[in-house]
Structure 1
Amino acid sequence: MAIGPARIAALSLLVLANKEDSDDAHTARQLSVDRITAAHEMLGTKLPAMLKACNHTFPSKLEEKRLACFEALTPLVESLRDSSKAQGSAFSDHCLYRLEPLVSSFLIEMTEDLMENHKRLEERRQEDMLKAITNAEVVGKNIQLIAFNASIEAARIGDMGKGFTVIASEIRDLSGKTQMMLDNIADLLRAS
């Protein structure tokens, strides 16, 4: 994500603003400008689009911080288009006392929010998987009962039901193996 590197880029621009106009300084300055521009675009359009694609919204206070970071980056991006504006105490104060604390705070809270959201999604996914396994276990038990009843009916028929007895026995064995696998999966999910 471009937001974190923008913090470094903004601070490096402060250092570069007072340096000579060498090729290395120009290259470093351009890299900083590119990172800040990318962060501005990330905060303005890309991050909201990514959140929307993931069906996630920030809590209102975090969204306010995102907008505040975007607004704090906007004059910086505009001043970078004219390098003469990217100098002086107002520029330094903006980078050090407004932009950097806002972005740092936003990044910390955004990370916490995304981690909490991920945790909730994982818990919900695990609950859904356990429900699916429980349902499959019920089906497996019903298959065992049906196979058992089929064996009884085949035995009652006598010689004509011997082939069906073998099939019912195989179904019961497969159902038992499936039940064991489902139990193992459920135990693994419950342990995690």
Structure 2
Amino acid sequence: MTLLVETTDTQPNEEAVLGVLINRCGKMRMLSHRVVVTLLLQSRKETPCSKGLEGLEKNLLEFSQIAADVLPGSATSTLPRDLKRVLDQVNAVSPSQAEDLTRFVSTARSIQHRLTAPGSATLTQPIEALADFVTTTLLDTLNAIVDGIGRALDHVVSHRQSQSGKQTRMIQSSITELEKISRMIMIISVNASIEASRVGEAGRGFSAVATEIRGLSQAANKVISSLRADYEGTR
């Protein structure tokens, strides 16, 4: 199950991906309880029910898939590479928390295999031990992981806002510089016109050039005004 969230852009929306991941990690609580209940029910049957075993496998597989997305260094994670780096950066999942996820899956798998093994001893004690682990340690771990992913989400939002602020400042600076250049061009054209008038007939050519420069400056001013109006309208 992939975590990619479709957007109008070519890249998935990072905030949306992390939001989905938070919801899925929340679902791991329910999945872990389902696994324990199913194991307990099936262990009380002389012959485990095939439908019950199928449900057990489905829940264990989904839990494992979600865990693979959040475990540091996971080779089967479906998260974008940049988001995996963010999760590592904010320590969303600590080594001990990763061990708890792995422990749950491996223990549940072990009990699952013993359910179908002929002549298997009673499984009540290991299942009860797993249930105690799920309702205490694993629950705390899953809550902490959700908090960790929340920190990653805050990091992504802050970074995006910072980048947006930088772009805004760059645009403002560029427009300001264009306005300065336009004013300088206008001053040059005015000075050229004055100098051309001083030399009379000989400065007619310079006067024509000055007029063209003034026209360019005025056209540039219109473009700059349009840019500023568009920019102010998008803020």
Mark yes or no: TM-score above 0.5. yes
In the alignment, what sits opposite 1:77?
109
| Structure number having the greater helix percentage | 1
Deviation at 1:19, TM superposition (A): 4.7
Of residues 161, 172, 176, the one that matches 2:221 is 172
Question: Residues 37 and 52 from structure 1, CA distance in 2 versus in 1: closer, same or farther, beyond 3 angstroms?
Answer: same
TM-score (norm 2): 0.64
In the alignment, what sits opposite 1:162?
211
35-44 or 149-158, larger mean C-alpha shift: 35-44
Q: C-alpha distance in 2, partners of 1:154/1:86?
A: 99
In the alignment, what sits opposite 2:44?
18
Question: Residues 61 and 47 from structure 1, CA distance in 2 versus in 1: closer, same or farther, beyond 3 angstroms?
Answer: closer
Structure 2 unaligned spans of 5+: 1-23, 194-206
Question: Residues 181 and 86 from structure 1, CA distance in 2 versus in 1: closer, same or farther, beyond 3 angstroms?
Answer: farther
Is 1:147–1:168's contact at 8 Å kept on the other side of the alignment?
yes
111-120 or 100-109, larger mean C-alpha shift: 100-109
TM-score (norm 1): 0.76
Structure 1 unaligned spans of 5+: none
> Structure 1 counterpart of 2:214, which letter?
T
In the alignment, what sits opposite 1:123?
158
> Structure 1 counterpart of 2:31, which letter?
A
Asked if 1:135 is matched to 2:170, the reply is yes
87-96 or 128-137, larger mean C-alpha shift: 87-96
Is 1:65–1:102's contact at 8 Å kept on the other side of the alignment?
no
Q: C-alpha distance in 2, partners of 1:37/1:86?
A: 25
Question: Residues 79 and 44 from structure 1, CA distance in 2 versus in 1: closer, same or farther, beyond 3 angstroms?
Answer: farther
| Partner SS state of residue 59, structure 1 | coil
Q: Which of structure 1's runs of 4+ aligned residues deviate more than 4 A?
A: 19-22, 84-87
Deviation at 1:161, TM superposition (A): 2.8
RMSD: 3.2
How many residues matched? 184
Question: Residues 87 and 11 from structure 1, CA distance in 2 versus in 1: closer, same or farther, beyond 3 angstroms?
Answer: farther
